[in-house]
Amino acid sequence: MTFTYHIADSRADALQRLSAAKTLPVAGGTDLVPCAEEGILSPAAVVDIRRIPGFRDVSVGPQGVTIGAAVTIASLATHAELRAQYPMLAEACASVGTPALRNSGTIGGNLVQRHHCWYFRRGVGCFKRGGTQCAAVDGEHQYHGIVADGTCRAVHPSDPAVALLALDAQVEIFREDGRVRMLDIAALYDGASRDPLKEAQLDDGELIVAVHLPIAAANGRQHWEKVMQRGAWDFALVSVAACRRSDGSVRMAMGGLGLAPWRVPDSIEEDVASGGLDEDSIDALVERAFYDMEPLAGNAYKRVMGQGVLKRAITALDA
Ligand SMILES: Cc1cc2nc3c(=O)[nH]c(=O)nc-3n(C[C@H](O)[C@H](O)[C@H](O)COP(=O)(O)OP(=O)(O)OC[C@H]3O[C@@H](n4cnc5c(N)ncnc54)[C@H](O)[C@@H]3O)c2cc1C
């Protein structure tokens, strides 16, 4: 594994470098380096984006909060205004990996990190390696997905992405030719089931410059829960981010279930928003939410666990 390394001093510098073939942005390197070692990525050059002015800033304004792409996960976990206004994002960030990872990993890199399925990472010829089957279906799949929306059963590893989905956050993306795109989180991962070779729908040369949190999602009632196999650090078996906004509307998203963070269907969010639910109605809602899930032989527990986690979230919003 060899590649050249350049530290960009401006956005224009980074974008110009990224327009060259086989050139990737790098921030903390906590996923890019393992992916390069595992033969998942093979860059000829990488461009370090952390010193670009503004990329490590969190700006709080009347329209919401703008988070530079190279802000570390640790900074987001401890940022006082984020904790006050968007607590479920801060808590999701606090639940990521270990302190060392949170201090190196950035929000941009976290959203673009590749799946951690053991077959994919170890080079088994699965869909994500250009093969024609998912090795997990007949293999070891206790941590894999129960949302059957595609061919591959890997689960998306990002905790912040789950909170950002429920917050209706948007990602700002630049390319050297002047194209600028704003994608909501669902759109960022839309296509993960159609094209198993990538999860985040970025084109070559594109750079996430910031994540925007809308003011409409600030405050209200927010709830985050992540269930892990090990308490010290781990990826989510199941997680939930749920909020009742100040206007009374409800957004709920879950992690650990599918190829992308999973948004709870609108009709269930609307029923939760109407409030006054008794335990039987909450049970009926969570049953409905998980109706289309298709667990594999060894991960049916995720349906039960996911329903329990979602029930606690609905109860917390309805209290
Ligand atoms: C042991 C371990 C445990 C972990 N546990 C968790 C966990 O519990 N929860 C969780 O959410 N994550 C977890 N992670 C993942 C970790 O959070 C990510 O590796 C990290 O956030 C990636 O950030 P980075 O800055 O290091 O990205 P990098 O490694 O620098 O980049 C990752 C990818 O993103 C691309 N990239 C980086 N920045 C940008 C940008 N601005 N625009 C476009 N593309 C970009 C790179 O080209 C590369 O493909 C874990 C990782 C490990 C190794």
How is the chain split into domains, by residue range?
4-47+56-318
8 A C-beta contact, residue 141 and residue 153: yes
Q: Spell out, as residue ranges, where the chain has pLDDT lower than 70.
A: none
pLDDT at 318: 86
Distance 161 CA to ligand 1 centre (A): 12
Q: Where are the beta strands (DSSP E) in 49-111?
A: 58-61, 64-68
Q: What predicted TM-score, i.e. pTM, was given to this entire model?
A: 0.98
**Is 16 a pocket residue for ligand 1 (Cβ < 6 Å)?**
no
pLDDT at 201: 94
pLDDT at 218: 98
- Out of 35, 40, 96, mutate this one to test ligand 1's pocket (max ligand atoms within 8 Å of CB): namely 96
Cα(269)–Cα(205) distance, integer angstroms: 37
pLDDT at 151: 80
How many Cβ atoms are within 10 Å of 297's Cβ, its own excluded?
9
Task: Please check whether the domain covering 4-47+56-318 is classified as CATH 3.30.43.10.
Answer: no
Strand 64-68 versus strand 207-214 pairing type: antiparallel
- Protein residue closest via CA to atom 28 of ligand 1: 29
**Is 47 a pocket residue for ligand 1 (Cβ < 6 Å)?**
no
Residue 100, Cα to own-chain centre: how many angstroms?
A: 19
**Is 136 a pocket residue for ligand 1 (Cβ < 6 Å)?**
no
Residue 47, strand partner residues: 6, 25
pLDDT at 222: 98
8 A C-beta contact, residue 53 and residue 13: no
pLDDT at 232: 87
Rounded (5°) CA angle 259-263-265 = 125
- 82-125 per-position pLDDT tens digit: 999 999 999 999 999 999 999 999 999 999 999 999 999 999 98
